[in-house]
Structure 1
Amino acid sequence: MDIIDQIIRLMVRDAPYTKLCSTKNILTVNGQFPGPTLYVNKGETIIVDVYNRANYNITIHWHGVNQPRYPWSDGPEYITQCPILPGGKFSQKVILSEEEGTLWWHAHSDWSRATVHGAIVVKPKPGTTYPFPRPHKEVPIILGEWWKKDVVEVYNELRRTGGDAAISDAYTINGQPGDRHPCSKNETFKLKVDYGKTYLLRIVNAAVQNVLFFAIAKHKLTVVGTDGSYVKPVTVDYITISPGQTMDVLLEANQALDRYYMAARAYSSAANVSFNENTTTAIVEYKGKHIPSSTTALLPLLPAFNDTNASVNLLSQLRSLADDEHPIDVPLDISTNLFFTTSVNTLPCANGSTCAGPNGNRLSASMNNISFELPSNNNILRAYYNNISGVYGENFPDVPPLLFDFTADNIPSFLNTPSVATEVNVLEYNSTVEIVLQGTNLLAGTEHPIHLHGYSFYVVGWGFGNFDKDKDPLSYNLVDPPYQNTVAIPKNGWTAIRFRAKNPGVWFMHCHLDRHVTWGMAMTFIVKNGNNPQDQMLPPPLDMPKLNTYVDELEKGEVKLP
């Protein structure tokens, strides 16, 4: 029987929220935006009772928690579960194993994660400590994105028109745009620090659409962890953090007693793509000196929004700690080589009508030229576990069906149209896997933060241009590569990752830019059971959410809740 270390209650509600720049209904968790931070110890198992008291379906994903042998609580809608219906509840068992550091949780249904999210702090096991001097204080810093209109409307408009999404009205730090937005002046997050003390900032990029640059004026940042794993300390002027990523960063309060801005703004490399160019701010204020409230804080220098070299600067420096207390195990002999392209595409508009995408088409996205379609009549995990046919196919290709110059300036337009399907790729238990994730310049070459559920992986290499299978592996880092669950493919570049397929189940892999995953930049792995009972999936809980036939009518407002 499991030892349950904590039972936590999360209540999702759709209600007026007054602490943003406009009063409107948003989905909150326990009345908070961002939602509550969960504190756990390494290796614990917790139960999170998720109550849906909103008017929309909801699921919750524990981002970066590998959930060994237990995909039932992983959370992606129609992949591992049906959604929790309004009025429903799901008790999710969250199994921590090797993770230590900062992770996060978020909704995994439509675009609800814009406001339904929060940090997870995984402390070292009792009797152990950090591999760096204990900080004076630990502070969650959650970077987000905010629309004045209901984000459900933004999502529905994207789907209805076939065009791009309306850009957000602001980015946020801990739920606020900052005092450069006058309406946010009184609510702007403020971190008060003592001179000479060190603070551990647990940074999460919960933004929906953009990679972000982040810095603090006049202060260096020392990165000591990413995605729930420690790294060799790297001191930088700024960090680049992708949607889905987390970073543990030490801030040494060693400047004059004054007020300084911490700030974040977008990195966006795609040509002719609209995005929010605003800068969000919070304040670092030193104690011990009266600073007039009228004093203007100093802004940090952040790279230009399209500075691709700056965007990969930190990735090139990250190394796993890889010491006796934090060993790593990089697969060296690879049994399964995969090559996945990631592309922005177009599809013809339905019924001969005109959509808002290029040339009257609707925007789409793909991996290996397949635009992933969520099943509508079941979820993949239940279908796999119960041998139900007709929900998915097993033909997701190991390599793209067509090879071409992926990052050329001019690519034939016929390559823009992908197929649409629900296909999975099946991995043998304990196989050693390398995936080369190749960006393409189809329609709009840009960066893609790719997240793999159920696994962390070693980022053994990356580069610009087309991957060269003969030359590029010669420069892989197989000694101390960073161990992550989310990694950005550089614009018109590639990233190589490795992992051992030792976690049986159904696991989603997708771009963490929400418009891209909505358009189909996703795929699913099925990792088969091993031969021994301890290498096989655990059975499902009794309270798994059930498929309901009136879900669509409910979301359209055609069914009233009791």
Structure 2
Amino acid sequence: MAFYGIFFFYIIFWTAVVSPTPILNRGYIPKTNNIDFTIEKVTLAPDGFTRQLSTVNGQFPGPTIEVNKGDRILMKIRNKLGESTAMHAHGMLQRGTPWFDGVPWMAQCVIPDDYEFTYNFTVADQVGTHWYHAHETMQYVDGVFGALIIHDPDDPFKSEYDEEIIVMLNDYHHTNAQILLKQFLTPESHGEEVRKIDISTKAPPGSKCVDNAGLAKFEFVKDKKYRLRIINTSAFSAFFFSIDKHDMEVIEADGLYTKRNKIHRLPINVAQRYSVIVTANQPVDNYIMRSEFQKTINLPNIKAIVHYEGAPDDPEPKDNPWSDSLTEYVDLDHKTLQPLEEEKIPESTKKFEFKIDFHKNSTGVVKAFLNNSSYIPDINFPTLDKIFKKKSFNETSANAYIFDKDGEVVDMYFINSDDGEHPFHIHGYQFWVLGTGNGDKVDENELNTHNPIKRDTATIPASG
């Protein structure tokens, strides 16, 4: 993948955070968690290549937030970036606090440079694996992101694993994201076409590099069981995640428990999260943890090492990849990925149909269009403020679709004419995934209305 002569290095950045399973009980008293974040630019070399990154407290990725179900989060943001920012807690429903959702010009105005702002919200009924990230321009691509974990005192699987490990996948670039965005939004870039072009993986001459970065290493103990919390924090790429010779059992998708679902390889799109249980039941040795790029991004597999306690160090374990063939690129089968507890699906009261298209706008730049309209934010009048002041949405570019009354249940149909898949996320909501298919027609008889999976980020397939 190349931006027509603009060099960048496209890799997965692995982050391991190990914590003992928290001991909670039904008598747990919720508490307030004070989170103090300074957002600033720092020179680092997380993969050996030295560059300036936007960071949270000088770290890449940012610190992990760990709270318990029912807790309150007070997240103070000190903006020292030299530009405005905003912070989104991805997956948080923000019931009663939509102004703390962190979307500029939608939920709030931006946080100016050299200014402090505190997000204040509770996680009353939410659990599981989430993440936080800057939501202004491309800041999270340059490093303003981190894991957000909500532990559950009533976790139905807590007796089935010994430790937790957070695994963050990221398509990390060597060039500042603002430069890449500027190049991307030119008539010459052809927009999404950049995803299909090979790129060089070598640093340019004269680069300052650290030659001992090595592969990330995850420590396993023989016969222990691990809950891997896997988060795709990338800008562009979906991945296939796996560990050689180790089965995985999915138990969570986007903060909601699932029935145990044994797999070898996990497809995970941008902003999706899964928990899987992995048992260290192989001979004491070193094994490869791998993420595979989509085939349209012609890059080699990216590897980390699973090192069993007692095994000799091995910088290059033998390759033993799973040979399963997975469709490129769709989510885990919505008919087999099922919620742990069955829910009765309510009858819909309204239907929205959206056509997704990518084509050139009046200036020759490829943009995304929804029902022939490309969204333009009103930087003088945020959407939420308009709602509170009962203002109308007259501009087509607002892409506003209105719920007329409380309690409506909406069926949303997306027809994707683009030849690339797209992750779809709704802020403040979780939705049931009833089905996907090819072409521009949906066979309503094939929709799964009996116990479908609920999540907050799903993949809309290419040309489907």
Give the TM interval when normalised to the shorter protein.
0.7 to 0.9
2:418 is the alignment partner of 1:393: no
Q: Which residue number in structure 2 is paired with residue 423 of structure 1?
A: 399
Q: Which residue number in structure 2 is paired with residue 300 of structure 1?
A: 321
What is the distance in 2 between the residues matched to 1:21 and 1:99? 37
TM-aligned CA deviation for residue 95 of structure 1 = 2.5
TM-aligned CA deviation for residue 302 of structure 1 = 6.7
Aligned ranges 1:107-506 → 2 under 5 Å: 107-114=134-141, 115-125=143-153, 128-131=154-157, 133-161=159-187, 163=189, 164=191, 186-267=213-294, 275=297, 277-289=299-311, 291-298=312-319, 300-301=321-322, 308=327, 311-322=330-341, 328-331=343-346, 333-349=347-363, 361-387=364-390, 392-393=393-394, 421-427=397-403, 428-440=405-417, 444-468=418-442, 472-493=443-464
What is the distance in 2 between the residues matched to 1:160 and 1:302? 40
Equivalent residues of 1:394, 1:426 under 8 A apart: no
Per the normalisation by structure 1, the TM-score is 0.70
What is the distance in 2 between the residues matched to 1:4 and 1:309? 43
What is the distance in 2 between the residues matched to 1:192 and 1:119? 20
Indicate the SS of the match to 1:106: strand
Alpha carbon RMSD of aligned pairs, Å? Answer: 2.5
Indicate the SS of the match to 2:459: strand
What is the distance in 2 between the residues matched to 1:39 and 1:283? 25
What is the distance in 2 between the residues matched to 1:170 and 1:257? 36
Q: Which residue number in structure 1 is paired with residue 22 of structure 2?
A: none
TM-aligned CA deviation for residue 55 of structure 1 = 1.5
What is the distance in 2 between the residues matched to 1:277 and 1:365? 25
Equivalent residues of 1:336, 1:433 under 8 A apart: yes
Equivalent residues of 2:72, 2:123 under 8 A apart: yes
Q: Would the alpha carbon gap of residues 474 and 248 (structure 1) be closer, same or farther in structure 2, given more than 3 Å must change?
A: same
Q: Would the alpha carbon gap of residues 191 and 169 (structure 1) be closer, same or farther in structure 2, given more than 3 Å must change?
A: farther
Indicate the SS of the match to 1:235: strand
User: What is the CA deviation profile of residues 216-245 of structure 1, one whole-angstrom value per residue up to 9, with x for unaligned ones?
Assistant: 111111111000000011111100001010
Q: Would the alpha carbon gap of residues 394 and 346 (structure 1) be closer, same or farther in structure 2, given more than 3 Å must change?
A: closer
What is the distance in 2 between the residues matched to 1:425 and 1:162? 33
TM-aligned CA deviation for residue 183 of structure 1 = 5.5
Indicate the SS of the match to 1:215: strand
Unmatched 5+ stretches in structure 2:
1-29, 202-208
TM-aligned CA deviation for residue 69 of structure 1 = 2.2
Q: Which residue number in structure 2 is paired with residue 30 of structure 1?
A: 57
Q: Would the alpha carbon gap of residues 362 and 426 (structure 1) be closer, same or farther in structure 2, given more than 3 Å must change?
A: same
TM-aligned CA deviation for residue 4 of structure 1 = 5.7
Per the normalisation by structure 2, the TM-score is 0.85
Equivalent residues of 1:12, 1:30 under 8 A apart: yes
What is the distance in 1 between the residues matched to 2:298 and 2:148? 27
What is the distance in 2 between the residues matched to 1:101 and 1:162? 42
What is the distance in 2 between the residues matched to 1:486 and 1:60? 18
User: What is the CA deviation profile of residues 442-465 of structure 1, one whole-angstrom value per residue up to 9, with x for unaligned ones?
Assistant: xx4221110000001111222222
What is the distance in 1 between the residues matched to 2:39 and 2:155? 34
Moved more, 57-66 or 4-13: 4-13
What is the distance in 1 between the residues matched to 2:34 and 2:169? 27
Aligned ranges 1:47-66 → 2 under 5 Å: 47-66=74-93
What is the distance in 2 between the residues matched to 1:188 and 1:195? 21
What is the distance in 2 between the residues matched to 1:369 and 1:147? 32
Q: Would the alpha carbon gap of residues 482 and 208 (structure 1) be closer, same or farther in structure 2, given more than 3 Å must change?
A: same
What is the distance in 2 between the residues matched to 1:30 and 1:299? 38
What is the distance in 1 between the residues matched to 2:430 and 2:366? 30
Instruction: State the AA in 2 paired with 1:210.
Output: S
**Aligned residue pairs: how many?**
422
What is the distance in 1 between the residues matched to 2:444 and 2:308? 48
What is the distance in 2 between the residues matched to 1:184 and 1:282? 17
Equivalent residues of 2:254, 2:457 under 8 A apart: yes
What is the distance in 2 between the residues matched to 1:162 and 1:7? 46
Indicate the SS of the match to 1:317: coil
What is the distance in 1 between the residues matched to 2:433 and 2:456? 9
Q: Would the alpha carbon gap of residues 268 and 296 (structure 1) be closer, same or farther in structure 2, given more than 3 Å must change?
A: closer
TM-aligned CA deviation for residue 423 of structure 1 = 3.0
Indicate the SS of the match to 1:371: coil
Q: Would the alpha carbon gap of residues 460 and 148 (structure 1) be closer, same or farther in structure 2, given more than 3 Å must change?
A: same
What is the distance in 2 between the residues matched to 1:111 and 1:303? 35
User: What is the CA deviation profile of residues 414-459 of structure 1, one whole-angstrom value per residue up to 9, with x for unaligned ones?
Assistant: xxxxxxx12311112211111112211xxx4221110000001111
Indicate the SS of the match to 2:275: strand
2:69 is the alignment partner of 1:92: no
Instruction: State the AA in 2 paired with 1:319.
Output: Q
What is the distance in 2 between the residues matched to 1:183 and 1:239? 32
Q: Which residue number in structure 2 is paired with residue 537 of structure 1?
A: none
Instruction: State the AA in 2 paired with 1:453.
Output: H
Unmatched 5+ stretches in structure 1:
172-181, 270-274, 350-360, 396-420, 494-562
User: What is the CA deviation profile of residues 235-264 of structure 1, one whole-angstrom value per residue up to 9, with x for unaligned ones?
Assistant: 111000010100001111111211111111
What is the distance in 2 between the residues matched to 1:491 and 1:156? 25
Moved more, 221-230 or 369-378: 369-378
TM-aligned CA deviation for residue 474 of structure 1 = 2.0
TM-aligned CA deviation for residue 336 of structure 1 = 1.1
